[in-house]
Structure 1
């Protein structure tokens, strides 16, 4: 019999939730076959069988939380799926057809054995019993063993009242009743504790009107946990500016058809902002750093995380080496990651190692927000909706211009306000002069 355990997934992932079993008891599997889908805080991964054979037991159910190293199933490497399944079905039918006859036979055997023992050994303990005790075995009647199996009780925990120290069905039932009383007592204490917590907790309350309660997915739990940790473990601050999008929109309008024809992908605003972010990070390297203990690690690479909204929550896949990509390369990278996120095909490597992040709430209509850091990164840029607003021009005329608010959240422990404001202003300057950005890019 081979045990299947939750394998090592990644350095930062130690647990997950079983999303779905891909096999059932009695199925034949080959080594390497996927047997279940595991939901982690980052992505869903398939767990493969590390041995071939027949699935004899599934030890966990869908929705159960498991940790790396937990035994989740057992495989009989010499078993045959069809034979075992038929045998189980036969046993099930026999059990349904004659449960009373089976119990009766066990009781008759119990009675015969008891009578034989009394005749052979009128006083004291039997030789068989003594030998069993010497070997550490539990002496019990077949009916008692059957009853213990039904109740899930270990025979070694039961005290026999028989002078021969043989455990009988009534001993099993008595032990089960005692356990029930203990469990009820313990359960009562737990219920009282739960009730006390319910009365004092403001997080979970009862409502007079109908509500629906749903358990949060592991990914949503992790998102919630990390967002709170980001606020608690960093000195997060946000600074704002606004960008006149006129020139970018005109340039995009002029080039979009030729760009699509040449590169087979649309020219969006994200590539402009990604290029601007990379340029600004080179001028202000502390925004491209992270804190490790008492050290500041300034990264010499530009892996930009792009926040993507999915049905299961926000994920931040990374576009690698954005400084080496042209506009088409950035647009392709963003499109590929976004599609993989929506199709649930992201790998752990797609989400790890980013140096700075960009989130675009404007696609949902957000006008202004304070993005939360994607720790351990120390900076994140928030983009917002483009709206026409009156703007005073250099000649003192007032024009309606397409304006966007941008926000930079940063970790004040290593980034000062001066650097943060200048960083954001540099992005504004490059977006408002995209021709210069193209030449430098």
Structure 2
């Protein structure tokens, strides 16, 4: 995971940076502000650059029609909240879809160790969270065994603890694949950086209504661009594209995900 790979403890708050140094400009009208990077920020910067220099990173894109999953959420939301005391979000659908796609394309749930490829037959899914001191990736353990409600509760709990700095190293250890959602900040499309030593990361983006061809007609649909960055050293383009297509198929058929999990 990002924080474990960086060698930074998530449970201990970083020391407060010194006050920024101000450099006065001509006639005092303009100035520059120098802010010392925290230790965590420096390490994150260094490791993310290293990740790009180590992996043969490539990104493939697709788009998902979110109509069915949005309709299902609306229809089932009240009953879900009454039963589980938590809202049914999009996170659980994407976690379930990723697990299903990883089972079909297991090399995306692997890592390189020396001259060997280690394929992992368990599914610990990292969920990237932007915290005050930088990106952290807490892990949903054994996501394939968990219900939609359990996944939603894990996402809520891990995100809250990421933001208040109470995550432990155990919360960050051992992820096999990562999901990151720039859509919550308004991003329409991006190329996510791999979370070493993982070889795949799925980027989600904002949902926008767009005209598309549907059953021979032009229809306005809520669409989301998705991006898969992968390590081309062990994952071929065909597998990567098929993986992302499988994620799309599963999310566009959310009833099948509910039946499976």
Query: TM-score, length-normalised on structure 1?
Result: 0.54
1:413 and 2:233 aligned: yes
CA contact (8 A) 1:42 1:315 kept: no
Task: Tell me what 2:129 maps to.
Answer: 308
Q: CA RMSD in A?
A: 2.0
Task: Tell me what 1:244 maps to.
Answer: 65
Written as runs of structure 1 = structure 2, the 5 A alignment for 1:8-407 is 41-45=8-12, 209-394=30-215, 396-407=216-227
The DSSP-based 3-state class of the residue aligned with 2:47 is helix
Larger radius of gyration: 1
The DSSP-based 3-state class of the residue aligned with 1:215 is coil
Residues 1:207 and 1:277: Cα distance change in structure 2 (over 3 Å): farther
Moved over 3 A (4+): 61-64, 206-209
Which 5+ residue runs of structure 2 have no aligned equivalent? 19-23
The DSSP-based 3-state class of the residue aligned with 1:45 is coil
Residues 1:384 and 1:264: Cα distance change in structure 2 (over 3 Å): same
1:428 and 2:258 aligned: no
**Distance in 1 between residues matched to 2:150 and 2:11, nearest whole Å:** 27
CA contact (8 A) 1:42 1:351 kept: no
**Distance in 1 between residues matched to 2:211 and 2:248, nearest whole Å:** 18
**Distance in 2 between residues matched to 1:207 and 1:399, nearest whole Å:** 55
**Distance in 1 between residues matched to 2:165 and 2:87, nearest whole Å:** 23
**Distance in 1 between residues matched to 2:226 and 2:136, nearest whole Å:** 21
Deviation of 1:63 (Å): 6.7
Deviations 1:239-287 (A, max 9, x none): 0000000000000000111111110111000100000000000000000
Residues 1:227 and 1:62: Cα distance change in structure 2 (over 3 Å): closer
Deviation of 1:44 (Å): 4.1
**Distance in 2 between residues matched to 1:226 and 1:421, nearest whole Å:** 27
Residues 1:277 and 1:12: Cα distance change in structure 2 (over 3 Å): closer
Deviations 1:25-79 (A, max 9, x none): xxxxxxxxxxxxxxx6241438xxxxxxxxxxxxxx9879xxxxxxxxxxxxxxx
Deviation of 1:318 (Å): 0.4
- How many positions carry a matched residue from both structures? 249
**Distance in 2 between residues matched to 1:294 and 1:319, nearest whole Å:** 29
Name the structure with the higher strand share. 2
Which 5+ residue runs of structure 1 have no aligned equivalent? 1-10, 14-39, 47-60, 65-205
Deviations 1:356-413 (A, max 9, x none): 000000011000000000000000000000000001012x111100000000000000
Bigger relative contact order (CA 8 A; separation at least 6): 2
CA contact (8 A) 2:12 2:165 kept: no
Task: Tell me what 1:92 maps to.
Answer: none
